[in-house]
Structure 1
């Protein structure tokens, strides 16, 4: 991690602490502020002129952005966050080579709320997610401005693979993955939870059902992502993978 990036994270943390102490911000307000601060950081990282990463022609390369979202995982479950029993070497490697945040907060105790906040930069009361997608009519609204939409505007390719859980993809009345800014997708609403991890039959590729896929859920998603990167991506563009 270079000095400029580390400085941004350091001063952001100091700013959060200052605001919390000076204005007596409670944990819920701080959670909202954290989400928007991360979105602000992403914008900075995409536009900050890193001198050590600059090409000879003067163009600053933009990084590929990959988000792995794990369900039902508490931060205390990871060895990189101090768990003395559970071994998580692959996830710990992300922490070692990337950024390990200690002041980030989930927007809720179920996955849909966190997913909605990550993609919209807004808290639950702002984006309308107060329950799991599909319950009590909860769904991502088509007028939401999403992270992939914004990244497309600055030249990114955007792709989604895996569990969506922001709408019922089987329902034409609800928003699709591609409508929310993704160029390419292989997604399922919440398939592994309902039918188990093998031979899933609820995947939808770019809006079209694909029927039963043979194999394990995780392998199918991983292979599709690797296939896209190897054969379909534009090498001249950065990509956002969620």
Structure 2
């Protein structure tokens, strides 16, 4: 990344110097465990405490009632890979040109930068990740050997233990990866992954139907727009795979497998401080909830998958209680971006068109406009709950906070100094996260295929830029006052030109800077 001018919060941007609060640092002997439960495509309005009437989420609701529920909390971007990158690095993904990754993408996170798990390791924690990765694997120079050591990956960026979907559940390979090895792989049926069918046509390995040539093989349900590469378990995928039949996951069992791994990790580390990043694949497509969850809502597989996710949250909370860890564990619940409905699979969920035409009366974004892929509030304003018994008083906070700031906040909590050039977009929100202050940040960047600037209740969206891929809808330059217009219906770009121009200048300076911390 080329060197850029650094923007400081106390600089000349006219955005204020922020507030400084008393330290909430904890003694080393009493350091809390930390569990981040990260949903996939779960919108602000998909949980009961945020207004959902059609999806029962008793475990998530309980977590909110016992913790602090944020109403203006954001992931960094409206798509999954960029948000996960920023969560773990404290750096906005656009600085690294991060996009949603294809199945064979190399590791996106540089192994020589600070990450959230590395921060915890500095503080003496064990670190583990269970769930969806989708941040790339391999060095980009050598083809990944799926039949040997699969690396670099999570272990090289700070995790001690990992159990993963290497990419995501709509992409190949459809196998689990434990640390550096594919689970249950038969060496007589070697695994190959590629962008084309020709690239994986290797003699001696199991061959799977090509969804483009044999759409009838998609027997689970049909898929659209590029989810028609290798057909595995009756479902079309992005990309192609051969081999690895003995290692294939079963779609309906993925949630159960992840929960078992999380339970085992917590039990193994109950006598030492640990950080667990539980990155659920729910409610990402292809949605295939276990039969015991099917029919639990009137919203088809999307609603039922959310019920399965809520069950997983309950199992993790129960495991903490059974191991005597609930009182000294910070549990954070959130999501990587806003909701999406039929995202490439014909699973019976209504295509998202507008709030009035949402999923059979349920709108996963709540009152906020848009969802996944979109620069409007529904794209990044997501559920965000923090529970820390005895430290954080239960309640609701409207402080404006961002997942990118978790790294700097934990650095403050654990008394780990951030060096210059580390986590350059992460600013401590510890006072807001712990409920000591109702004031969050005065400004914040939102990212989709364009950038937006939140400055209090004002929101400026830049016009379509070169980062927008072909086929994405054009969004005009926009200015909204969310206090008067929370659903972003009244564009003030013409009536408040000076405000728009000032915010546009600030956003451009931030974009070209080395960081905003």
Give TM-score scaled by structure 2 length.
Answer: 0.33
Q: In the alignment, does 2:186 pair up with 1:186?
A: no
Aligned to 2:183: 210
Q: In the alignment, does 2:62 pair up with 1:89?
A: no
Aligned to 2:121: 152
2-side partners of 1:161 and 1:78: how far apart? 22
Aligned to 1:71: 40
The question of whether the paired residues in 2 share the 8 Å contact of 1:163 and 1:188 is answered with yes
Point out where structure 1 has 5 or more consecutive residues left out of the alignment: 1-15, 17-21, 25-32, 50-58
Aligned to 2:415: none
Q: In the alignment, does 2:67 pair up with 1:98?
A: yes
The question of whether the paired residues in 1 share the 8 Å contact of 2:176 and 2:249 is answered with no
Aligned to 1:121: 90
Task: Find the partner of 1:177 among 154, 157, 176.
Answer: 154
1-side partners of 2:57 and 2:270: how far apart? 33
2-side partners of 1:126 and 1:48: how far apart? 33
Give TM-score scaled by structure 1 length.
Answer: 0.67
| C-alpha deviation, 1:146, in angstroms | 0.3
SS at match of 1:67: strand
Change (3 A) 1:82 1:105: same
SS at match of 1:102: strand
Task: Find the partner of 1:23 among 15, 25, 33.
Answer: 15
Aligned to 1:9: none
More helix by share: 1
Over aligned residue pairs, what C-alpha RMSD do you find? 3.5
2-side partners of 1:64 and 1:75: how far apart? 26
| C-alpha deviation, 1:70, in angstroms | 0.7
Which of the pair has the greater relative contact order for Cα pairs under 8 Å at 6+ separation? 2
The question of whether the paired residues in 2 share the 8 Å contact of 1:112 and 1:166 is answered with yes
Q: Which runs of 4+ in 1 moved over 4 A?
A: 135-138
Aligned to 1:226: 263
How many residues align? The count is 193
2-side partners of 1:48 and 1:182: how far apart? 23
The question of whether the paired residues in 2 share the 8 Å contact of 1:117 and 1:123 is answered with yes
| C-alpha deviation, 1:213, in angstroms | 6.2
The question of whether the paired residues in 2 share the 8 Å contact of 1:177 and 1:187 is answered with no
2-side partners of 1:135 and 1:220: how far apart? 21
Point out where structure 2 has 5 or more consecutive residues left out of the alignment: 1-8, 185-246, 278-517
Change (3 A) 1:126 1:144: farther
The question of whether the paired residues in 1 share the 8 Å contact of 2:110 and 2:157 is answered with no
Q: In the alignment, does 2:273 pair up with 1:238?
A: yes
| C-alpha deviation, 1:186, in angstroms | 0.7
Change (3 A) 1:134 1:81: same
| C-alpha deviation, 1:193, in angstroms | 2.3
1:4-61 alpha-carbon deviations (Å, 9 max, x no partner): xxxxxxxxxxxx9xxxxx629xxxxxxxx9xxx9xx99xx65x246xxxxxxxxx651
SS at match of 1:171: coil
Aligned to 2:112: 143
The question of whether the paired residues in 2 share the 8 Å contact of 1:120 and 1:127 is answered with no
SS at match of 1:142: coil
The question of whether the paired residues in 1 share the 8 Å contact of 2:35 and 2:275 is answered with yes
The question of whether the paired residues in 2 share the 8 Å contact of 1:80 and 1:92 is answered with yes
| C-alpha deviation, 1:127, in angstroms | 4.4
2-side partners of 1:127 and 1:98: how far apart? 34
The question of whether the paired residues in 2 share the 8 Å contact of 1:116 and 1:140 is answered with yes
Q: In the alignment, does 2:100 pair up with 1:132?
A: yes
